Amino acid sequence: MADLFSKPLDKPLFERMVIVGVGLIGSSLLRAARQRNLVKTLVAADCSADVCARVAEIGIADEIFQDANQAVRGADLVILCTPVGNIGTVAAEIAPHLRAGAILSDVGSVKASVVAAVQPHLSQDVHFVPAHPVAGTEYSGPDAGFSTLFSERWCILTPPEGSDPDAVKKLQEFWTEIGSNVEIMTPAHHDLVLAITSHVPHLIAYNIVGTAADLEEVTQSEVIKFSAGGFRDFTRIAASDPTMWRDIFLNNKEAVLEMLGRFNEDLAALQRMIRWGDGQGLSDLFTRTRAIRRSIIAQGQDAAAADFGRRGASGEKPQ
Amino acid sequence: MADLFSKPLDKPLFERMVIVGVGLIGSSLLRAARQRNLVKTLVAADCSADVCARVAEIGIADEIFQDANQAVRGADLVILCTPVGNIGTVAAEIAPHLRAGAILSDVGSVKASVVAAVQPHLSQDVHFVPAHPVAGTEYSGPDAGFSTLFSERWCILTPPEGSDPDAVKKLQEFWTEIGSNVEIMTPAHHDLVLAITSHVPHLIAYNIVGTAADLEEVTQSEVIKFSAGGFRDFTRIAASDPTMWRDIFLNNKEAVLEMLGRFNEDLAALQRMIRWGDGQGLSDLFTRTRAIRRSIIAQGQDAAAADFGRRGASGEKPQ
């Protein structure tokens, strides 16, 4: 996808970027930054010795540290890519080692709780600009990353009140260079938007896969065999990283419970339509939901492949 | 995918096959039967003049009728591919025109209500063997079909008590020849299996897309922009044919309400875990659901592509 990016930069945007936590997102950031020549020295930090060894093997960083405190010294950009529940602890540890003027960011899927957990530890001369790239797959670990993960995806920045505009602008430039569209909003609004577009969908996917696993009348083997009728699409998102998702739900509790409440009300209404045979009500809803799908395809947020990605078509309809 | 099929048949399995209702499934059956040379004369019947005209244009049938009664005369295989709510009416109409010894089948996604609606109209010398291919896309109409839709997918036959074993065997051979794996079960068990693997997943997908469309705090445009976080995968199945799905819910009411009851119980437990911060409970469930995903991939019912089909990889992991 190198043709997406018109021309390489004359000069790197950052001197030393440190990725703390080298999983799917962290390793994709290292790959994308290298491909675009956005950073002079790429640094990986991960508390797991195995991950550090693997990062060395695949060669996606110039320097690798198990100790984040050592890694962040002198960095002008530090991005925390650990699970959300851990970001506050990591920030508290590295804060004393950050140089004045450094930009600190993260990639957590919730923002209000991250701001609350990180901000108090930072000195005034460190610029904290939280970010959330709305991109991912159900795979985890340093091998799962790829350099085009963020291309044509949205990245949401949620700078707290009084953030340094230059720092925000520079981070925005970084994300734009790796192919993302950047949107800026408040942490609270971000959490509400993501609750409905990501967190509740994951929750109900996890839930139905759990329900199916616990049945007695229908065997697990039958559930797997006949999953092509719709179920398999839920298992895909219900295979995402368990720790990451536990943290998301615990850290975006209010917005998730609010959206789940609405989902439940609507589902009760739908259940009642089925019980009482209200065919008109059912087809009205089913017709309305088609329009949203069309908008998502029109705006390039999904491929129109008619086969759920099964045959490997990338947008064109199978013959 | 022609290499899947070792060698063409020496002699067609059927003389005259009539597809009544030429949508996604019906037109795929015509294409698959022609490709494998399974039928001497391919007949399409559809009450819509537009559909008949389109079928003629794309040239997937030897004969085309708007009147199903005329079409079925002399046929040795008739497959009803109309929405489930309509199958009984169509069966009642064509029954007097079916020849002795003909096999009548359907492709409806529910089976007990179809058997109840069709069986009473048939004379003893017509063999009714209901079928349900567990395959599909979110597209509808004669242009949406393709000849490999059924390949490596399951087709469930639900022959009523006392069915003619030769008729069941011959229909099984037909489905096997177009690439499906055939499983035989009772109509009632079929309806329970499909309620959890297909009907409830569709219902909750329709529901969450409806919930998202009705929010005031989050705009529709935000929902669409940030749909890559999980939501878009639900819109895909919530774009399926409204009439078909209305009929499925109205005709598999009991099994759907039963499975939905279990889903709701489990969701309430999950909601409680979030409210009370039970991180262990959440990660236990999220870990358990991963295993089911792995089985589905291992059994070839989905591709392992790490990108939800977005980049067009067919099974291999993006680099």
CB contact under 8 A, B235 and A296: yes
Q: What is the pTM of this model?
A: 0.84
Structure tokens at A232: 């398999």
Q: What is the pLDDT of residue A169?
A: 97
Shortest Cα–Cα distance, A77 to chain B (Å)? 25
Cβ pair A227:B289 closer than 8 A: no
- Across the interface, whether the CB atoms of A311 and B242 are under 8 A apart is answered no
For the CA atoms of A179, A182, A188, A194, what is the dihedral angle to 10 degrees?
A: -40
Q: Residue A230 has what pLDDT?
A: 86
Burial label, B96 (beta-carbon count in 10 A; 0-12, 13-18, 19+): exposed
Compute the distance between CA of residue B165 and CA of residue B157 in angstroms, rounded to an integer: 12
Name the more confident of B216 and B82.
B82
Q: Quick check: A193 and B226 CB within 8 A? A: yes
Please report, for chain B, the start and end positions of each structural domain, with discontinuous segments joined by +.
2-185, 189-277
- Reported as a single tens digit per residue, the pLDDT across B176-231 is 999 999 999 999 999 999 999 999 999 999 999 999 999 988 988 899 889 888 89
The B residues from 29 to 58 touching A (CB cutoff 8 Å) are none
Secondary structure (3-state) at A244: helix
> Which residue did the predictor score with more confidence, A28 or B289?
A28
**B122 Cβ under 8 Å from any chain A Cβ:** no
Cβ <8 Å between A227 and B148 = no
Q: Which residue of A has its CA nearest to B221?
A: A295
pLDDT, residue A7, reads 64
Interface with chain A: mutation pick from B181, B193, B276, B299, highest number of A CBs within 10 Å = B193
Contacts of A178 (CB under 8 A, 6+ apart): A29, A32, A33, A36, A38, A147, A150, A151
Mean pLDDT value across residues B297-319? 48
Min Cα distance A138 → chain B (Å) is 6
Report the residue from B224, B238, B243 with minimal CB separation from A283. Answer: B243
pLDDT tens across A265-298, in order? Answer: 999 999 999 999 999 999 999 999 988 888 888 8
CB neighbour list of residue B112: distance below 8 Å, 6 or more residues apart? B187, B188, B190, B191, B252
Q: What is the chain A residue with the closest CA to B133?
A: A229
Interface test with A, best of B198, B202, B215, B235 (most A CBs within 10 A): B235
Of B198, B212, B313, which has the smallest distance from its Cβ to A230's Cβ?
B198
ipTM of this predicted complex?
0.84
Which strands, in side-by-side order, build the sheet including A131-133? A131-133, A154-157, A181-184
CB contact (8 A) between residue A309 and residue B308: yes
| Ranges of residues in chain A whose predicted pLDDT is under 50 | 1-3, 305-319
Q: Which CATH code, of 3.40.50.720, 1.10.3720.10, 3.40.50.300, 3.40.50.1980, is assigned to A2-185? A: 3.40.50.720
Judged by a CB distance cut-off of 8 A, whether residue A290 touches chain B is yes
pLDDT confidence of residue A2? 42
Q: What is the pLDDT of residue B8?
A: 64
Q: What is the pLDDT of residue A290?
A: 87
Contact at CB, A228 and B302, closer than 8 angstroms: yes
CB contact under 8 A, B222 and A270: no
Q: Is the Cβ pair A250, B156 closer than 8 Å?
A: no
Q: Identify which of B111, B117, B151 has the alpha carbon closest to the alpha carbon of residue B130.
A: B111
Rounded Cα gap, residues A125 and A104, in angstroms: 11
Q: Give pLDDT, residue A295.
A: 83
Q: For residue B176, give how far its alpha carbon lies from the nearest alpha carbon of chain A (Å).
A: 16
Q: Which two tokens stand for residue B156?
A: 């469930």
Q: Do A227 and B302 touch (CB under 8 A)?
A: yes
Residues of chain B contacting residue A207, judged by C-beta atoms under 8 Å apart: 263, 266-267, 270
Choose the mutation target among B152, B265, B274, B314 for the interface with A, i.e. most A CBs under 10 Å.
B274
Task: Report chain B's mean pLDDT, rounded to a whole number.
Answer: 90
Interchain contact, A137 vs B301, CB within 8 Å: no
pLDDT score, position A308: 38
Report CB contact under 8 Å: B154, A204: no
pLDDT of B3 above 50: no
Q: What is the pLDDT of residue B303?
A: 65
* Contacts with B146 from chain A: Cβ below 8 Å: 306, 318-319
Domain A189-277, CATH number (from 3.40.50.300, 1.10.3660.10, 2.50.20.10, 1.10.10.410): 1.10.3660.10
User: Do the chains contact at B234 and A307, CB–CB below 8 Å?
Assistant: no
Query: Band of the pLDDT at B1, cuts 50, 70, 90?
Result: very low
- B255 CB near a chain A CB, below 8 Å? no
Residue B304 has what pLDDT?
60
What does the pLDDT read at residue A1?
Answer: 40
- The answer to whether A78 and A104 are in contact (CB under 8 A) is yes
Interface contact flag, A296 B245, Cβ < 8 Å: no
Average pLDDT over residues B8-15: 86
For B:55-94, CB contacts with A below 8 A are 85
Q: Return the residue of A nearest to B280 by Cα.
A: A246
Considering only residues 142 to 201 of chain A, which have any Cβ-Cβ distance to chain B shorter than 8 Å? Answer: 144, 146, 148, 153-154, 156, 183, 189, 192-194, 196-201
Q: What pLDDT is recorded for position A304?
A: 60
CB contact under 8 A, A227 and B296: yes
CB A251 within 8 A of CB B306: no
- C-alpha A13/C-alpha A36 separation (Å) is 10
Angstroms from B24 CA to nearest CA on chain A:
11
**Quick one: CA dihedral A83, A102, A48, B295, positive or negative?**
positive
Q: Which residue of B has its CA nearest to A301?
A: B228
Please write the tens of the pLDDT for every residue from B227-257.
888 898 888 888 888 998 999 999 999 999 9
At residue A303, the pLDDT reads: 65
What does the block give as tokens for A271?
A: 């259940």
